Amino acid sequence: MSSPSRFRRSWLIYCGLTLLFAAGVWYFGFKTKGVQDNTRASFRKKYAAIPAPVRVVKAERRNLDVYLKAIGTVNPLNTVVVRSRVEGQLLRVAFEEGQYVQQGQLLAEIDPTPYKIRLAQAEGQQRQNVSQLQTAKSDLERFRALHAQALVTTQQLEQQQALVAEREGALAADRAQVEETRLQLAYTRIEAPISGRTGLRTVDVGNLVRANDANGLVVISQTRPITVVFTVPEIDLAKVVEPLRAGEHLPVEAWDRGEQVKLGTGVLKTFDNKIDLATGTLRLKAEFPNEDEKLFPNQFVNIRLKVRTLTDAVVVPAAAVQFGSRGTYVYLVTEENKSTVRPLVLGPSDGTYQAVTEGLKGGEPVVLEGLDRLREGKNVVVVGDGPAPTAAAAADGGAKAKGGRGKKGGGEGKGGEAAGKSGK
State how far the Cα of 403 lies from the Cα of 398, in Å rounded to an integer: 9
User: What Rg value do the Cα atoms of the chain yield, rounded?
Assistant: 45
Q: Mutual orientation of helices 113-148 and 154-186 as an angle, nearest 10°?
A: 160
Task: Give, in degrees to the nearest 5, the angle at Cα 186 between 182 and 190.
Answer: 160
pLDDT at 418 over 60: no
> 277: which DSSP letter?
T
400 and 341 in a common domain? yes
In a domain, 28, yes or no: no
Coil, strand or helix at 192: coil
pLDDT of residue 31 exceeding 70, the answer is no
> 208 in a domain, yes or no?
yes
Q: What is the pLDDT of residues 340-379, one digit of tens each?
A: 999 999 988 877 889 999 989 889 999 998 888 888 888 8
What range defines the domain where residue 252 resides?
A: 70-77+221-309
The residue among 187, 211, 234 that closes a domain is: 187
Please write the tens of the pLDDT for every residue from 193-213. Answer: 999 999 999 999 999 999 888
Q: What is the mean pLDDT of the chain?
A: 84
pLDDT tens, residue by residue, 67-124? 999 999 999 999 999 999 999 999 999 999 999 999 999 999 999 999 999 999 999 9
Predicted confidence (pLDDT) at residue 401 exceeds the cutoff of 60 = no
| Model pLDDT, residue 391 | 44
For position 207, which CATH number holds? Answer: 2.40.50.100
Tell which wins on pLDDT, 60 or 424: 60
Return the pLDDT at 214.
Answer: 86
Report the pLDDT value the prediction gives residue 17, as an integer from 0 to 100: 75
Same structural domain, 155 and 270:
no
The answer to which of 93-97, 150-154, 246-250, 416-420 has the lowest mean pLDDT is 416-420
Please tell me whether residues 100 and 183 are part of one structural domain: no
Distance CA(389)–CA(419), nearest Å, equals 27
**130-148 per-position pLDDT tens digit:** 998 899 889 888 888 888 8
Domain tally, the chain: 4
Identify the band that residue 417 occupies on the pLDDT scale cut at 50, 70 and 90.
Answer: very low
Looking at the fold, whether 263 and 285 belong to one and the same domain comes out as yes
Per-residue confidence band for 325, with pLDDT thresholds at 50, 70 and 90: confident
The mean pLDDT of 56-75, rounded to a whole number, is 92
- The pTM of the whole model exceeds 0.85: no
Q: 214: part of which helix (H) or strand (E)?
A: none
Same structural domain, 230 and 339: no
Q: Tell me which of 220, 238, 264 is where a domain ends.
A: 220
d(CA 162, CA 159): 5
Q: Which of 186-190, 383-387, 402-406 bottoms out in mean pLDDT, i.e. has the lowest?
A: 402-406
What pLDDT, on a 0 to 100 scale, did the predictor assign at position 393?
Answer: 45
* Residue 33 pLDDT class (50, 70, 90 cuts): low
196 shares its domain with 300: no
Contact between 174 and 125 (Cβ < 8 Å):
yes
- How confident is the model at residue 123, as a pLDDT? 92
Q: Could you read off the pLDDT of 254-288 as tens digits, one per residue?
A: 999 998 999 999 999 999 999 999 999 999 999 99
